[in-house]
A and B are shown apart, each in its own frame.
Chain A
């Protein structure tokens, strides 16, 4: 009986090993030398780099680009300490990061507008920057105070490691605290998911995340209502925007250089545009 069990276990183990081995063969293909490039950081920048990497790898079969998220702080730290080849950040380097990693070199690859999104059923369609701040610092608690229905505002934001939050906090909040009770999501997608399911909710995401499941708010600048579109970001009309960076330690060389050039090339920049960002 135990013999049978041992045999069973051995069989399972064997299948797993064989599977892993053949899996390795399929995955690795016929190539002998594989060059690896690791990228880590902001989830806002991630889609651009990911899609660019997919295109790039289609062109160069021997290149393996590994991309993971983590947030801008992680991107800066990883690239600064050399644990990855390329970092991604959705904000400028902080004072502390600049002094700690003096050779860290941010390269702007796109501009990104931050859109305020609400549930599609909301009757509010325009806010001023001050009103947005009022919502996020707790001054307004009901949409009726902003010309909407009497529905409680559900404030949705990003978690504390997010570059988007950092930017939002500096630019909109003027470094004041967010209202307590703000739902914190760890990605743009999670924010959008929640907004799309929740009447009364407001959140902020990159322009690339806007789709029909949510409604993007116009921002009133002076007398003008500015729609969050790539054109308006490009022209500078839309007020809430920032640059997206990839970070390298020193001057990029070899594969890293080639990949960055690819992103900055016309083909790369068309990906930027497809994903709803603004080319540089």
Chain B
């Protein structure tokens, strides 16, 4: 997998980049799903990945925290540097990576536990047992996720009873509770109504102050509204990557322009 370890991450990663990929190729069995992806994710920015369905944007975002590990028959080549270290090196503990890079999924997926236990889940698996400490983390995370006021008095009730938007914010709180540096979001609003979507978008804008956010979306307006950088993907390739303003106003590739103007996809 790593034929070339000598080249070290610093050369590529500026002080501003938190994640850098280099010639990433990925296969599901015989299917070549990602082709030569090279890109940088800048600290404290929101990076959006757009493209038509099946273009590989969800696959790419799962490369960043090695969630593809759990899929049978998935093979990856190339390098993904996080803070200057290739996360696919054999001496890397995937648990450490996932602790520092959180993930939010397309469908809200709270555990069938109480609200409290959902948020406390991460800290607990990382060995925090003191009740007072957990209480503190839960409250802080729920506040950060702008959910505290809504669930304050029902912390011990099942999370399944929350609305879809609340569930998704709960999932964000659950991710925040382990204090990650990067939050990956895989179409986090695609299952939500416009009002819940607006709340999540506000939340993302707030989160940018403390975290680096990578978001996959096929809602181009959403990408335009909340992101600082945008990457356009097509058929497993990263066609164009740049500042959001530039991508949407002066796309460099015809393919990008066609997509953004709605001429296909």
Direct contact of A and B (CB under 8 A): no
Chain B residues with CB under 8 Å of chain A are none
Chain A residues with CB under 8 Å of chain B are none
